[in-house]
Amino acid sequence: MTSSSPPVVSQRDPFLDNAKFWAIVLVVCGHLVEDLRDVPYAHALYLFVYTFHMPLFITISGYLSRNFTRLRAQKLVSTLLVPYVIFEIAYSLPRLILYGKFQLTLLDPYFLTWFLLSLFIWRLSTPVWFQVKWPLAVAVGISLISGASALPDELSMNRTLGLLPFYVLGLVLTPQHFQMLKKRWVRITGAVVLLAGIGITFLVHYDVSTEWIRWRHAYTRIGVDNLTGAGIRLLMLVIGAVLVASFLSVITSRRTWFTALGGLTIYAYLLHGFVVKVLDRFHDQLNNPVGVAAVILFGVVLTAVLCTPPFRTLFRWAVEPNLKWAFKTDGARPNATTPDQPAAENPRSVNP
């Protein structure tokens, strides 16, 4: 795929909000069962979901960032950088209360806040990718090479560079690509691929290191040489892209009860971690097949609740802070939009 100039997205598509809602359900449920992986089926589901759920969000974020060159830099600060600082501090407090530990390093993201920092960096790089002749190939090359180095944890460099191809993939996608996914034969194929993926994962999940789906370490630290590691990472990139396409192919394009919730997934993403930390205290009671099933069901309900308008009202000051007072005004500038949506979209749609 090549790209020479940023395309324009003209209007909001409920398909993307539907996809974001079910993707955030996977994120929440994945975090809830992470410490319950002694249960075999929980371990398999965790591996399967983590293979593509963040690549899915990153791809959607890239697609919705294609008009970044028209945005004010202040929106990047107010919707990503400031919330990152707020929640990095907020997530340090449970560690102090529950475990008696307090550590705050703003350049070394803790828990789920890495995504905000990485997305901040990816969006800063957006104009560059529109000048590259083969952006996706270059991004894949950077990802493979980055795994050969022991990168620092600061700025979440391992994940930022390792997962970069999914962001660039979103940048080069067009509405026509999503239309292809809605064809009947593609939807059937996508459903078959997802079912096959789950089946294969149940067969091999104990043979695959979960570090490959975390994207946080160099190849040698996972236990392989650089050439083998690059091959495995390339395979993970391909598998992730295939599962992302398959997942999107089974998502409805109709407006449903969860479409509006998909526009507020950033709230579920940033807030659910506090619930996860509380449930960690009940690990022994939940670490069984029934407990895992209950946690997954709870995760679906929790996601839906956190995406409702009341939570936006309560926490907008932290998730979508109004920082106009902190920036210089410029009457010649066009109206800004949030960094993950085109100008015609409702500002309530924010990617996690």
Residue 141 has pLDDT above 80, yes or no: yes
Average pLDDT, the chain: 86
Residue 324 has pLDDT above 90, yes or no: no
Closest CA to 135 of 244, 237, 3: 3
Share above pLDDT 90 across residues of the chain, in percent, rounded to a whole number: 67
Res. 57 pLDDT band, cuts 50 70 90: very high
**Residue recorded with tokens 């002749």:** 133
pLDDT given at position 111: 83
Instruction: Name the burial class of residue 48, with classes exposed (0-12), middle (13-18) and buried (19+) by CB atoms within 10 angstroms of its CB.
Output: buried
- The predicted model gives 196-217 an average pLDDT of 94
pLDDT given at position 101: 67
Amino acid at 313: T
The H or E element spanning position 220 is helix 219-222
Per-residue pLDDT of 270-280, as tens digits, reads 999 999 988 98
Res. 78 pLDDT band, cuts 50 70 90: confident
Res. 100 pLDDT band, cuts 50 70 90: low
Res. 152 pLDDT band, cuts 50 70 90: confident
pLDDT given at position 329: 67
Res. 3 pLDDT band, cuts 50 70 90: very low
> ∠ CA 45-139-204 to the nearest 5 degrees?
25
Neighbour-count burial for 70-97, b at 16+ CB within 10 Å, e otherwise: ebbeebbbbbbebbbebbbebbbebbee
Find out whether 70 and 9 touch, Cβ atoms under 8 Å. Answer: no
Res. 19 pLDDT band, cuts 50 70 90: very high
Residue 10 has pLDDT above 50, yes or no: no
Residues present in the chain in total: 352
**Distance between CA 241 and CA 228 in Å, rounded?**
20
Res. 107 pLDDT band, cuts 50 70 90: confident
Amino acid at 228: T
Domain ranges of the chain: 14-326
